[in-house]
Amino acid sequence: MQIPFYKYQGTGNDFVLIDNRQQNFPKNDTILIAQFCDRKFGVGADGLIVLEQHPTLDFSMVYYNADGNQSSMCGNGGRCVVHFAAFLGIIETQTAFMAIDGVHHASIQDDKVALHMTDVSHIENHKQYSFLNTGSPHHVEMVANLEDLNVVDKGRAIRNNSYGTAGANINFVSKISGDTFSVRTYERGVEDETLSCGTGVTAVALVMFDTKQTDSSKIYLKTPGGELCVCFDKKEQTYTNIILTGPAIQVYRGTCEL
Q: Which of 69, 68, 189 is nearest to 137 (CA)?
A: 189
Residue 231 forms beta bridges with which residues? 218, 243
For residues 78 and 87, give the distance between their C-alpha atoms in angstroms, rounded to a whole number.
14
Residue 17 forms beta bridges with which residues? 6, 49
Contacts of 150 (CB under 8 A, 6+ apart): none
Contact 125, 213 (CB under 8 A): no
Contacts of 96 (CB under 8 A, 6+ apart): 57, 58, 103, 104, 105, 106
> Could you confirm whether 74 is annotated as catalytic?
yes
Task: Give the DSSP letter of residue 209.
Answer: H
Query: Which among 37, 80, 197, 229 is annotated as catalytic?
Result: 197
For residues 45 and 35, give the distance between their C-alpha atoms in angstroms, rounded to a whole number.
10
Query: Which among 74, 80, 229, 231 is annotated as catalytic?
Result: 74
Q: Look at residue 149 and give its three-state secondary structure.
A: coil
Strand 192-194 relative to strand 94-99: parallel, antiparallel, unpaired?
unpaired
Residue type, 120: V
Backbone angles phi, psi at 42, to 5 degrees: -135, -155
Residue 219 forms beta bridges with which residues? 230
Query: Would you name the residues annotated as active-site residues?
Result: 74, 197
